[in-house]
Amino acid sequence: MKVIADESIESQVDSYPSPVNESAVDTSLSIVGQAHAILINSCGSCHQNSLPTQKAGALAVYDLDDTKNWYKEMTEEEFDGVERRLVNRDQFTEEQAEQMLLFLELARSELF
């Protein structure tokens, strides 16, 4: 095995492409961020621990103050509840509804 003396191991390793698709990571973070923003505006009054209007039952499902992990412990039934509310409320634009449906599909598949 030939060893290249001029290069450190780190520089040799750094020359290989990263196994993580950075654009896929950015896209998934963007989808989660968009869903979070949509829910802050429509559901935040009950689902934010920091607000006096918070509701214990709502916080048991998700707390939007936990910006990174708010959806990670949700059950399939809770995802279904979000989807039902999404369909039954006029306050969501068509674009917001599409973004939320994409988020729900990916979150259910545990792709984030």
pLDDT tens-place string over residues 39-85: 999 999 999 999 999 999 999 999 999 988 999 999 999 999 999 98
Q: What is the pLDDT of residue 85?
A: 87
Is residue 107 very low, low, confident or very high in pLDDT (cuts 50, 70, 90)? very high
d(CA 39, CA 104): 12
Is residue 20 very low, low, confident or very high in pLDDT (cuts 50, 70, 90)? very low
The 3-state DSSP class for residue 25 equals helix
d(CA 25, CA 19): 12
pTM of the model: 0.72
Half-sphere exposure of 99 (CA within 13 A, CB side): 18
Neighbours of 97 (CB within 10 A): 15
